[in-house]
Amino acid sequence: MRQKLVAGNWKMHGSLSENRALLGELRAALADVRNMACAVCVPFPYLAQAQDVLTDSAIAWGAQQVSEFAKGAYTGEVSASMLLDFGCRYVIVGHSERRALFGETDQVVAAKFVAAIGAGLTPILCVGETLSEREAGMAESVIARQLDAVLNVAGMSGIARAVIAYEPVWAIGTGKTASPEQAQAVHAFIRQKLAVLDMEIAGRMIILYGGSVKAANAAELFSQPDIDGGLIGGASLVADDFVAICKAAQF
Ligand code: PEP
């Protein structure tokens, strides 16, 4: 059985004092969580704080993006090895907001993925279609294209070191969740696509669902056979909600 994972994506929210309270509440409330993994992906400036509060807790931490470059004259960029310096285990790669708002192409996402695994981080690779792509019947082809860009450079041995997050763009931050059946169908598609290349790796791949997951819908989503947990935006900023979602992933 695959272990479930629930990861929070705080986006550009928080402050030192708010985060200290939230991280402390999560640390205490999730101390007895069993049979699942949880993590929070915080803004870069708060990685040291996450490391400080969460070390030796049940919660791992990570960043929301990473440079594709290892070092050099790239003003404003943060490398994978810098994230490791702050104890990160995870880094989100290819979030739809990065793709849509910051021009990250499939190729850039793939390069960031390679940089992350090269440093020993676990990328949480986001894939997903927009509403118009879904309505045009293109959801699977878009996701296949996004996965192929990474497979072409990292192969199945690279994918095996990652977590995939299916995040339909139309469900992110909109309050519109994919139904468990809709999400399951895409997760099964992703797993089958990977199984064509390597059945064993596909079988143990953790595939998260993200898009307006809440305490009220988490258990039903996570009970689908190919949904191995969630990537949680808004609800990860509210301790009780995030804790309830993590607990919904326990078996
Ligand atoms: C996200 O940011 O990855 C996300 C899924 O956000 P939300 O849960 O708020 O839809």
Active site residues: 95, 167
User: Do residues 25 and 241 touch, judged by C-beta distance below 8 A?
Assistant: no
pLDDT of residue 54: 98
Q: What is residue 45's DSSP assignment?
A: G
Cα 199 to averaged position of ligand 1 atoms, centre (Å): 29
pLDDT tens digits for range 107-119: 999 999 999 999 9
What pTM value is reported for the model? 0.97
pLDDT tens digits for range 218-245: 999 999 999 999 999 999 999 999 999 9
Task: Provide the strand spans (E) within the chain.
Answer: 4-9, 36-41, 59-63, 90-93, 122-127, 163-166, 207-210, 229-232
Domains assigned to the chain: 4-248 (3.20.20.70)
Classify residue 157 as left (phi > 0), alpha (psi -120 to 50) or beta: alpha
pLDDT tens digits for range 58-94: 999 999 999 999 999 999 999 999 999 999 999 999 9
Atom number in ligand 1 closest to CA 126: 3
- Is any atom of ligand 1 closer than 6 Å to the C-beta of 155? no
- Is any atom of ligand 1 closer than 6 Å to the C-beta of 210? yes
pLDDT tens digits for range 129-141: 999 999 999 999 9
The pLDDT confidence band at residue 99, using thresholds 50, 70 and 90, is very high
- Is any atom of ligand 1 closer than 6 Å to the C-beta of 125? no
Predicted confidence (pLDDT) at residue 1 exceeds the cutoff of 90: no
User: Do residues 92 and 65 touch, judged by C-beta distance below 8 A?
Assistant: yes
Residue percentage of the chain with pLDDT more than 90: 96
- Is any atom of ligand 1 closer than 6 Å to the C-beta of 245? no
pLDDT tens digits for range 122-181: 999 999 999 999 999 999 999 999 999 999 999 999 999 999 999 999 999 898 889 999
pLDDT of residue 251: 75
